[in-house]
Amino acid sequence: MSGNVADVLEVAGLAGGYGRVPILHGVDFAVAQGEVVGVLGHNGMGKTTLLRTVMGFLPAASGTIRFRSEDVTRLPPHERAGLGLGYVPQGRGIFPRLTVRDNLRFAWHEYSGASEDDVLEAVLSDFPRLRALSDREGAALSGGEQQLLALARCLVGDPDFLLLDEPTEGIQPSIIEDMERMLLHLRESRGISVLLVEQNFDFISGLSDRVLVLERGRITGELQKSELSDQAKVDRFLGFGSARSTRGTGGPHRAPPPAPQAHSSPTTAPPDQAAAPKLVTNMTVKRPTLSQMRDMASRFGMRLTDEELHEYSEIMEPYMKAYDRLDATPDNLPAVRYPRSPGRFPDPSENALNAWYVKTEIPGAPDGPLQGRRIALKDTVCLAGVPMMNGSSVMEGYTPEIDATIVTRMLDAGAIIAGKAHCESFCLSAGSHTGAKGPIHNPWKRGYMAGGSSGGSAALVAAGEVDMAIAGDQGGSIRIPSSNCGVYGMKPTHGLVPYTGIMPIERTIDHVGPVTNTVADNALLLEVLAGEDGLDPRQCCPR
């Protein structure tokens, strides 16, 4: 860290996560007075975890967080807020049955800088849209209006540093532009610093002085302001299609005012594409911005005024609100009960069959029917904190946040999860040649097919690299590779084994089952896996 007196926020060696699942691994960065720093990365890389840890909602396992030279690493969130940290969470978190004014009143504290009435008046002056809606309940607001309310509520606490988590997610174009103007105004008028997590590349590049790239809980690089306007450099560093562009290429790009000198990150942009981390696009449905709609109209040869584009936005809005409601549905994710590291990608020297995707060492309970048995998972099975790609480069870099039901059952039974096995691209092949990482070799004769789509699972068992494996079957994907590799594979009765937390193809044909070297081991593993979990709709009184 630089130790510069102008640094408002300094994070050094920060590690943390959820319970015993590590997400952040030695994060280092600093943000100067009046600086806007963006954080870009695909889903599951730790962006939200980083903001929640900085704000104190998640404990830091190690490292330090210093705000205005004061160590706040162990302070609770309300004390950090009193020092000037403000947090706008992803999903807004407003109170749906309170009015706009009451939502704002709820955030007032003695450290807000003035009386409650004066603070609310000042905030509403900056948000004229909200003033007209001050008596409306939060649930009656549009997604964009709710986001403005969340930002305004944060400002009631008079912060001088904002932590913003995906503020443009699921909101209409006009409000995205209003929000950008508001944040630029706050920066110019109050010198507010911002740490911004965002998937909208146009929004993050328009506001940020520099952008940090977060991959698997580590900052792997940084793009300076001058580099953000160079599309070729952005694509080379982040990977093609890694961040969604919502502005037309021909329009002017508004830049924020100059900020204090930015700090260099531990790693800078690599010189060639081979060294660049590959990111993927956020899957959340986004509303197009006005600029994007103008560009689309131009490309289609349509001459539409902004008023007409607004009419199109109004037509789209009910459909977007349906997506918003779906996106806002609570996940109620099952707890991850066993600690682990993210694993490692094996060298070719230890992956002769190309059957491994990632190797791990996740021990389960100290005893049980599977005590000490090493098990490989087909790379369709979610293993929290460990990469998963389902055989396709489209998903490369995705990291699940949960364990599949069967993973927890095997760990409870004393198994050791040894890693993830390669499979065919999206499991749509009965061969072993379509996976994004190359063909899987037959353990009995290199250069010949192991079968698919669960080729890696069968090959690892046949080669003796694991004791057992999990495979999936929609049309022969357990049975074909088991036959090719000379092992025992079981396609269980449909619904007998819960499919929760496993990449599906179609629920009426999805099956998951054991691959082993003996019939006895097959029966043993099936006994551990079988049974209703109360979550999988494929199951109905399984026996």
- Between CA 320 and CA 326 the distance in angstroms is 10
Q: Are 405 and 498 in contact (CB under 8 A)?
A: yes
Beta-carbon neighbour count of residue 132 at 10 Å?
A: 11
Q: Which helix (H) or strand (E) holds 360?
A: strand 356-363
In terms of DSSP bridges, do strands 85-88 and 356-363 run parallel, antiparallel, or are they unpaired? unpaired
Of 215, 234, 161, 192, the C-alpha closest to 39 is 215
CA atoms lying within 13 Å on the CB side of residue 176: 25
- Between CA 143 and CA 137 the distance in angstroms is 13
- Between CA 288 and CA 285 the distance in angstroms is 10
Beta-carbon neighbour count of residue 365 at 10 Å?
A: 15
- Between CA 364 and CA 377 the distance in angstroms is 14
Beta-carbon neighbour count of residue 245 at 10 Å?
A: 15
In sequence order, what E strands does 21-160 have?
21-32, 36-40, 60-67, 70-71, 85-88
- Between CA 352 and CA 346 the distance in angstroms is 10
> Coil, helix or strand for 72?
coil
Q: Which residues are catalytic?
A: 378, 453, 477
Q: Which helix (H) or strand (E) holds 407?
A: helix 405-412
- Separation in Å, CA 392 to CA 397, 428, 539: 10, 11, 28
In terms of DSSP bridges, do strands 85-88 and 161-165 run parallel, antiparallel, or are they unpaired? parallel
